[in-house]
Amino acid sequence: MKRILLVFICTLFLTLLASVGAQAQGNPPSDDDVNAIAKQLYCPVCENIPLDVCGTQACAQWRDLIREKLADGWSETQIKQYFVDQYGDRVLATPPARGLNWLVYIVPPLAILAGAYILLRALRMWREQPPSMDSATSPPFNSEPGVAEQDEYIQRLEEELSKR
């Protein structure tokens, strides 16, 4: 009895697996599937235009090629690698982190951290109290600040004017 039940469950499982596989092969990839990959690729002919929105005939052919590759069972990684092999790294929306391209991933976060550090230091300096003045260097109690400097300036100005 257990053997019959086990054979029945295995047969049912294999039948379901075969029918799902047949359905997956029978259905062509949708536009959403194609555009999900095409968004990650740039048109090799036009500059800075993603493949999913480019209106040229060449881009339409490349989207059809993506559809064919998906129908043949290619993965997203394989399709992107195919385009890189054909047209170079410039077709990728996200540059690979090798060579000098790794700077794209390192420099912006470092610049943000450096800017935050500088801003924090500046805010701390602005919040500090100005250093208190010593009594020896402070002007007399009843005089206005800067009067001594103004008197000296006026005196020098008058000396210069009297020389003429």
Q: Which residue, of 76, 94, 112, is where some domain finishes? A: 94
Q: Say yes or no: 35 and 85 in one domain.
A: yes
**Considering the domain boundaries, does residue 52 fall inside one?**
yes
Name beta bridge partners: 92: 41
Q: Kindly state the average pLDDT of the residues 74-96.
A: 85
pLDDT digits (tens, 9 = 90+) for 40-78: 888 877 777 888 888 888 888 888 999 999 999 989 889
**Considering the domain boundaries, does residue 66 fall inside one?**
yes
pLDDT(124) > 80: yes
pLDDT(146) > 50: yes
pLDDT digits (tens, 9 = 90+) for 4-19: 766 667 666 666 655 5
* Cβ–Cβ under 8 Å, residues 93 and 50: yes
Strand runs labelled E in the chain: none
Q: Give the residue numbers spanning the domain of 106.
A: 96-126
Q: Say yes or no: 85 and 110 in one domain.
A: no
Q: Say yes or no: 31 and 71 in one domain.
A: yes
pTM: 0.48
From the number of C-beta atoms within 10 Å of its C-beta (0-12, 13-18, 19+), residue 66 rates as: buried
* Cβ–Cβ under 8 Å, residues 40 and 94: yes
